[in-house]
Chains A and B, each alone.
Chain A
Amino acid sequence: GAVVSQHPSRVICKSGTSVKIECRSLDFQATTMFWYRQFPKQSLMLMATSNEGSKATYEQGVEKDKFLINHASLTLSTLTVTSAHPEDSSFYICRGRFQGYGYTFGSGTRLTVV
């Protein structure tokens, strides 16, 4: 089946630094990648949608300069949290679309900013 490999699974970074999260589609071409955020004991909220080769579309209230999304190839999409602060600590998970309208989630990244 379609697999999205997400790395790292856990990351701890210092306040003010940037961290990159990668989602790779291993056996399919992900034309679209969705990035979600989940605060502790809460639901998943869509942050942005990226299409290969074009700029990401951000949901209302999401800072595009803080959460940089790059989808330069059909197998790789990245989310960079810039100048991270403790309030950015969260669980981030991607969801890729493969041929037709099939979708699959990555395994998620737990970000802790100290």
Chain B
Amino acid sequence: AQTVTQSQPEMSVQEAETVTLSCTYDTSESDYYLFWYKQPPSRQMILVIRQEAYKQQNATENRFSVNFQKAAKSFSLKISDSQLGDAAMYFCAYRSGNLGGSEKLVFGKGTKLTVNP
């Protein structure tokens, strides 16, 4: 079974600074997807960024980028120029990419990010 580990329960960053959230995962599959979701106090799940395992290039979405190390099974999220609105719980998630495989998302336990003004 696949597992996702987020080793940082809480992180904090100064506004305008950069912060990196860590995530490691375990799988025997070769085809899969990795995600970072943001969950603000409203509890809405917001997709921040997605990475296909077959792509070597790290995904980037504006101020958000990932460092995907497939061999090390590591998938960290970097937030640049942090803003107050970035404060939230961040979940790393895994989904199988195999056709006919499970479509469920496996989540890490989350990292609570605080942004200090």
Contact = CB atoms under 8 A, between A and B. Distances in A.
A binds B: yes
Interface string A44-65: 1110010000000000000000
**By DSSP majority rule, is chain A's interface helix, strand, loop, or mixed?**
strand
Chain A contact-residue range equals 10 to 19
B109 A93 contact: no
Contact of B104 (A34, A38, A108, A110): A34
A97 interface: yes
Nearest to B99: A101
Contact of B109 (A43, A95, A101): A43
Interface of A: 32, 34, 38, 42-46, 49, 91, 93, 95, 97, 101, 103, 105, 107-108, 110
12 contacts: A42-B110, A43-B108, A43-B109, A44-B45, A44-B91, A44-B105, A44-B107, A49-B103, A49-B104, A93-B45, A105-B45, A110-B43
